[in-house]
Amino acid sequence: MKIFATRHGETNYNRLGLCNDDPAIDVHLTDTGIEQAERVALQLKDETIDQIFTSELPRTLQTARIINRYHDAAIESDARLNDIRSGFDGEPVPDYFSATAHDPLHARINGGESLLDYKTRVTGFIQWLVELPFQQVMVVAHEETLRVFEAWFEAVEDDRLRTLNFPNCEVKKYAT
């Protein structure tokens, strides 16, 4: 199976530098985010995509619908792809990173999950995904999700997870 994975397009919260892991909060693509998703749609226009998987957060579904305009693939949301529960929903991203800096892999702040907790959750999704009978799928999720995908498919060590950065709508390709 070939997996195309991308982070959602730029959002209003990205511009404000805020954390969001609650699907009920209105975090949506900016005009720039829509343009980024449209570029991905054109980039993958000639690929066959059997299924698209997203998190439950609206920004991933919004991005997926734009990318899907040339494919008409089924779109399925899966809670295992939701962004890391940071414990800092609506708070500045730098505050989250400062609070977890003492132990970026294990720290659980304000009832959130650690990066390794998150890795376990997303790894469960990947293990399930690779057993499905699809030829090519698309995953639209979050930067933390792409860190876990990169670790799984490219054998990145846990201590390097936080060093991985993925711009909005950068497409990564993985094969099983």
Residue 136's DSSP bridge partners are 2
For 52-65, the pLDDT digits (tens) are 999 999 999 999 99
For 81-93, the pLDDT digits (tens) are 999 999 999 999 9
Tell whether domain 2-175 is in CATH 3.40.50.1240: yes
pLDDT band at 113 (very low <50, low <70, confident <90, very high): very high
What is the rounded CA–CA span in Å between residue 165 and residue 158?
14
Mean pLDDT of 119-148: 97
Name residue, tokens 């343009």. 35
Mean pLDDT of 109-136: 97
Those residues whose C-beta lies under 8 Å from the C-beta of residue 164, and which sit 6 or more positions away, are 146, 147, 150, 151, 156
What is the rounded CA–CA span in Å between residue 93 and residue 84?
12
For 32-52, the pLDDT digits (tens) are 999 999 999 999 999 999 999
Domain borders along the chain are 2-175
- State the chain's mean pLDDT as an integer: 97
Please tell me the chain's helix, strand, coil percentages from 3-state DSSP, rounded to the nearest 5.
45, 20, 40
Specify the pLDDT at position 29. Answer: 98
Query: Which two structure tokens, joined as six digits, stand for 1?
Result: 């199976």
For 12-25, the pLDDT digits (tens) are 999 999 999 999 99
